[in-house]
Amino acid sequence: MSAVISVAFQAFQIFGIFLIVSLGLSIIYGVLGVMNLAHGELMAIGAYMVAMAVNAGLPLVAGIVLATVLVALLGLVLDRAIMRRLYRRPTDAIVVTFGISLVVTQAMLLIFGSAQNSHISTPGGEVTVAGASIPTYRLVVTLVGVLAAYGLYALFQRTRLGTNIRAVSSDQDTAGCFGVDTRATFTVAFVLGSALAGLAGALVAPTVSLVPTLGQGFVVYAFVIVVVVLFSILATLFAGMAWVIGGSWPWLLIGLGMWLFWREDGRHHRGRRHRGSRACVTAAACAGRASPRST
């Protein structure tokens, strides 16, 4: 029984990581219309950054914040130098981001080597649940993932920036007609997605060995969650279970994703066909944000 509980809490920890990674991918894919194949490398950079910060004497929490900010800045550089030329060009973006992924992986291999221990001790000790010793850090990672999801929900639903992001995601042209700076919104979306990748890498660093390909395994699952399942909390939790159990479970994850996709009853594809309706929704959102005064 204790072994089952231990595996369950480990799955919840991975669930928190998958949740953060998938949120980042979902923002970039939903707003920019491109799939960032270098997302896993941004996650790996976050892991290496927090390891370097902690080994330099910073507390773990400060190291996680610093790594997240640095990866966000790297995302800003990538957006300004490369990604802004690839907005709404999914095929070109796949090729370019795959190339970035290869370059970054080889650079980290040359700098840090093939593998190393992070030498980060997880704070908080352990708690005992039904006879099983559970590291408190696992619970913290899960909580951070849930808080990140809630924070993004509040950002998108209750702020002007969130309104702009949703409007541009729905219809870029109509949002631009209502005064939304689409280029700035694209940049914010890419930087936010990159920051989430860095946060996920920083959180997972104390629990794994650091390798340049650290993020690729997580991102493969995140791709299924975002692209196939259209982002589902249930699929994210199932991905955490599949990661911990291993074996043939990844194929079951893909099967679950396909089932959830078809369960949407074609709403995703109907939304693409009814672009005019989406334009009306975008116009209403923008008009609600900046309605003119009556004279």
Fold (topology level) of 2-289: ABC transporter involved in vitamin B12 uptake, BtuC (1.10.3470)
Closest CA to 41 of 116, 103, 133, 90: 103
pLDDT of residue 196: 93
Q: Where are the domains of the chain?
A: 2-289
pLDDT of residue 205: 86
**Segments in the chain below pLDDT 50:** 248, 265-295
Reduced 3-state DSSP string for the chain = CHHHHHHHHHHHHHHHHHHHHHHHHHHHHHHHCCCCCCHHHHHHHHHHHHHHHHHCCCCHHHHHHHHHHHHHHHHHHHHHHCHHHCCCCHHHHHHHHHHHHHHHHHHHHHHHCCCEECCCCCCCCEEEECCEEEEHHHHHHHHHHHHHHHHHHHHHHHCHHHHHHHHHHHCHHHHHHCCCCHHHHHHHHHHHHHHHHHHHHHHHHHHCEECCCHHHHHHHHHHHHHHHCCCCHHHHHHHHHHHHHCCCHHHHHHHHHHHHHHHCCCHHHHHHHCHHHHHHHHHHHHHHHCCCCCC
pLDDT of residue 190: 92
Computed from CA positions of residues 208, 152, 162, 282, in that sequence, does the dihedral angle turn out positive or negative? positive
pLDDT of residue 258: 55
In tens, the pLDDT along 61-98 reads 999 999 999 999 999 999 998 888 887 777 888 889 88
pLDDT of residue 259: 55
